[in-house]
Amino acid sequence: MSAWAITRKRVQRMKKILAAAAVALLATAAPAFAAETVNVAFAPATGGQSVGNYYGLVNVVVTGTGQSDGTIFNDAFYSLDPAGKYNSSYYQLTFGTAPLANATPSQNAANYIVGGLPAYRDDHTYSFTLNTGLAQTAAGKLFFGVSDGVFSDNSGAFQVQLSQAVPEPATWAMMLMGFGMIGFGLRSYQRKSTKVTYA
């Protein structure tokens, strides 16, 4: 087999690998635009869980109030005590990548929010980015609940809207530029390898 034929086979193989990589990239990026709403009732200790699988950073919008601290109402992060609004280790939105345990402050969603606890809002609607700590290859269900020890006297629910955070435009631009450079390299490699000279 001539050197030209070997080079041509290498170029064709590289094109197939690049095409397969592009298809795989698009396949993994496709579910990133999916969104869902999880109903998180205050009454069962299990709360609610996502239907879809998520990883890395997840965009969250949570609304709703209820009673999980006796007769005092609370939203996702603040107790609405008539004496004053405050954030405590209990009676707030909890988060985990596995089923939740009762009264476990380490599972408070505030511990996983990028940028820290949101400021109090009168409409009780909070938008933030949650760091799940999961790699894309380990994507899984997300679990939400209320940090409490006794659930029989609770009422109300949170509505938790989830969507997978997508890469920033700069990330996409760098990736596309990388593919372009690889394509340019293949193209010039192919041109150099197909030159025929006669003596």
Q: What is the pLDDT of residue 26?
A: 54
Q: What is the pLDDT of residue 8?
A: 73
Which position has the higher pLDDT, 59 or 6? 59
Q: Is 190 left (phi over 0), alpha (psi -120 to 50) or beta?
A: alpha
Which position has the higher pLDDT, 199 or 35? 35
Q: What is the pLDDT of residue 171?
A: 62
pLDDT in tens, 20-45: 766 665 555 544 446 899 999 998 87
pLDDT in tens, 73-88: 999 999 988 888 888 7
The answer to whether residue 192 scores a pLDDT higher than 60 is: no
The CA-based diameter of the chain, rounded to the nearest angstrom, is 97
Q: What is the pLDDT of residue 115?
A: 94
Q: What is the pTM of this model?
A: 0.69
CA angle 26, 28, 168 (to 5 degrees): 75
Overall average pLDDT of the 177-192 stretch: 68
- Phi/psi of residue 61, nearest 5 degrees: -130, 120
What percentage of the chain exceeds 90 in pLDDT?
45
Q: What is the pLDDT of residue 193?
A: 56
Overall average pLDDT of the 114-130 stretch: 95
Return the number of other C-beta atoms located less than 10 Å from residue 176's C-beta: 10
pLDDT in tens, 128-158: 999 999 999 999 999 999 988 888 889 999 9
Which position has the higher pLDDT, 28 or 197? 197
Helix 169-193 × helix 3-29 angle, to 10°: 170
Residue 179 · residue 19 · CB < 8 Å: no
β-pair partners for 188: none
Q: What is the pLDDT of residue 31?
A: 47
Contacts of 118 (CB under 8 A, 6+ apart): 77, 126, 127, 128
